[in-house]
Chain A
Amino acid sequence: MQRLVAFILALGLAAALFAAWLLRDAPLTPALAHGLLRADALSAFFALVTTALALAEIGQGREKSPLRLLGVVGLLVAAYLSGHMAVTAALFALAGFLRIIGRHPSEALPMILPIICLSLGLASMGLRADEWRYAEPGAGAGLNSGAFVLLLLAVLLAGGFLALTDGQSAGPARQIDPIFGPALLYPLLRLDSLGPWNLGWLAATLLIGGAVALWSAWWAATCASGDAAAWLQRYLIGMALAGIGLGSGAGLALAAFALLTMPLISLGMGVAVHHARPWPLWAISAATPLSAPFVAAWVGVAAATAGHVPVLAMILWAAALLTAVPVARLATGRNKQPWWPQDWRLLVAAGLSLALGGGAPLALTLLVAPMASQLAGGLSPMGEIALWPWAGLIALDAARQPVASLPTFAMAGIMIVLAALAWVGARLLARRKRRDEG
């Protein structure tokens, strides 16, 4: 059954990628659906992330009921594709209930709280504007601070951020749901479709996001290896929140790269913890240039620099360095163990991480740029992560001046030459040593 569900999810992943390509120019709003259905780049992106997270869960073999997981993913994707806020809330609620079936009430109740917050937040906006379809012109009138606080609270509750206070993951509202935690960022990001945020909301999200990222990274660096994966996921949600709080195209890119990195971290760390020397994990470390976590961290620091928030840049930089510690500790493992064979799931996660890091310009073009252009009404021009043709990524500030650069292709090219030179040097040294011994 697991294999069948994994196959269906893989098909879903391919479909989400295709949808992202299809929707890159304009959203799809069938007239017959009367606004109930609306697919845009943001919907396709979240469908991709949720499906990838579900695949990572299946890959780790942690999911007891794969069919139920498939149902949850289906409902969440339907929620992303809904243009009606009440329908979105209802689908999220259904997915939430499906997720908690069979759980003990003490464990289930904290998972219902984010859904209640989300439903109240969306209902507040719909009732206030008297317009439930978010793409309609009058929907923006529903934006209010109460709804914003409720949606932010939903993200924090689903991420189990109460655990930040003492580092203990056991207990109510302390566990992160690997599917729902990231999924609840969707309604928050969807607010950008309704109009620009006020400065207070941006500042609150920025502060909370930065604090969550740094705090989670600290716990990840100091906790036991088994708990690090959950802290790293919280760190990435914090980064995404900080990106949303920046309120710019660069901030949106930060949120996107953080979310894209999450399934890889989840799968890699989840699998590596059961192995003696999982060295491919180095490819999922924020300390390894051109890995996905490194690129996410770079986008974070570059976005904060472009937005002229140096304190946030330093916080995200420090957080990225801290997150490198648990991964490095786990990757080295018991160094005397043989380095081969390795778990194929770990190799897949590592390969995808390097592909996403090296191919970040492609991900930016296919996934992030369409989102930024379709949500432009809610974003400020305070920074943009742009394509550096045939070189990599470049961060531009509000005056369109470059403030940070990541020449991925040029670095990879020189690294290949350097590695070749080193290999030749090593062979020559080995031959000379053999000749001396002989």
Chain B
Amino acid sequence: MGALLDALGQAWPRLLIYPGGLSALGLAWLLARWMAFIRTPHPDAERLPPHQELIAALPPLLALTLLPIPPARTFPYGIDLLTALALLGWPQLYSQAVRGALVGTGLRTLLQGYSLLLLGATAMSAGAGGIELRRLLRAPDTALGWGLMLGGSGLWLLGQARLYRKGRAAHLGDLGCLWIGAMPMLAALTVGAADRLPSGWAGWALPPLALIIAALMLGAARRITAPCE
């Protein structure tokens, strides 16, 4: 009990600054601007009332807080892919349900996107040897493991591109999914570049680099999978 309270007490930088809190809000805004710059049509989500938007934003914020991304301080009670996807996908499902879009075309689009996400998640977890998120940051022992992790990351981002929607809470979910898609790249970058960087720089320089690569891939995937305006 003491260990749990201690960990919760020391989690405030995660909650307020990084990877949750202010950095999450800022990065989600940047991601939304980037996706707007891609100039692909975004199905307009019905604006939720502010209090509902706030409720919808809490689960993705929780997931972002618990992401095991450097240089954030280690948190001993990490979540796994299934829990992360449930938390990050909440705003999407909630807004779709409120709009009455869980039938017909809306349901088909949702299932297509999620099937790619699930394929990606399964490939990543098969490569990493488990569904714990922290495993995605470790280098696999075999080339097959690398292939599964990086291929899975690509499928994950492709699925995310199909599911992309407007909405403040949804943008937080998208940012969390982007971080997860970036994790295998971060593992690859760490293996390839950590020794070439000055001591202590890898934890600060590589996560933003992996996130930028993932965002570029997401933009490209969105551009390919959605028709131009």
Chain A residues at the B interface, C-beta cutoff of 8 Å: 221-222, 287-289, 294, 297-298, 301-302, 305, 310-311, 313-314, 317-318, 321-322, 324-325, 328-329, 331-332, 335, 388, 390-392, 397, 401-407, 409-411, 413-415, 417-419, 421-422, 425-426, 429
Contact = CB atoms under 8 A, between A and B. Distances in A.
Interface stretch (B96-104, B180-188, B199-207, B221-229): B96-104
Contacts of A405: 77-80, 132
Given A287-B93, A321-B118, A297 B82 contact: yes
B113 to A, nearest CB: 11
B62 A302 contact: no
Interface stretch (B7-15, B26-34, B189-197): B7-15
Given A297-B82, A329-B97, A390-B1, A302 B11 contact: no
Contacts of B110: 325
Interface of B: 1, 3-4, 7-8, 11, 15, 50-51, 54, 57-59, 61-62, 65-66, 76-80, 82-83, 86-87, 89-90, 93-94, 96-98, 100, 102-103, 107, 110-111, 114-115, 118-119, 121-122, 125-126, 129-132
A329 B97 CA distance: 6
B107 A411 contact: no
A406 B83 contact: yes
Helix, strand, loop or mixed for chain B's interface? helix
B62 A426 contact: no
Contact of B131 (A287, A403, A413, A422): A403
A168 B46 CA distance: 34
Given A305-B131, A325-B102, A404-B130, A390 B79 contact: no
Contacts of B94: 328
Nearest to B59: A289
A335 B52 CA distance: 12
B123 to A, nearest CB: 8
A221 B102 CA distance: 9
B59 A407 contact: no
Nearest to A287: B93
Contacts, number: 134
Contact of A305 (B58, B79, B114, B130): B130
14 contacts: A287-B93, A289-B83, A335-B98, A401-B130, A403-B129, A403-B130, A404-B82, A405-B79, A405-B132, A413-B8, A415-B58, A415-B62, A422-B58, A426-B51
Helix, strand, loop or mixed for chain A's interface? helix
Contacts of A287: 86, 89-90, 93
A317 B103 contact: no
Interface centre among B11, B15, B51, B93 (most CB of A within 10 A): B93
A404 B100 contact: no
List 6 A-B pairs, minimum CB-CB distance, nearest first: A403-B130, A410-B77, A407-B77, A328-B97, A314-B122, A332-B97
A414 B62 contact: yes
Contacts of A301: 82, 131
B93 A407 contact: no
A414 B129 contact: no
A296 to B, nearest CB: 12
B125 A305 contact: yes
A419 B87 CA distance: 14
B102 A411 contact: no
A125 to B, nearest CB: 38
Given A313-B125, A411-B66, 13 more contacts: A222-B107, A287-B86, A294-B86, A317-B118, A328-B97, A329-B103, A392-B77, A401-B129, A407-B78, A410-B4, A418-B58, A418-B61, A418-B62
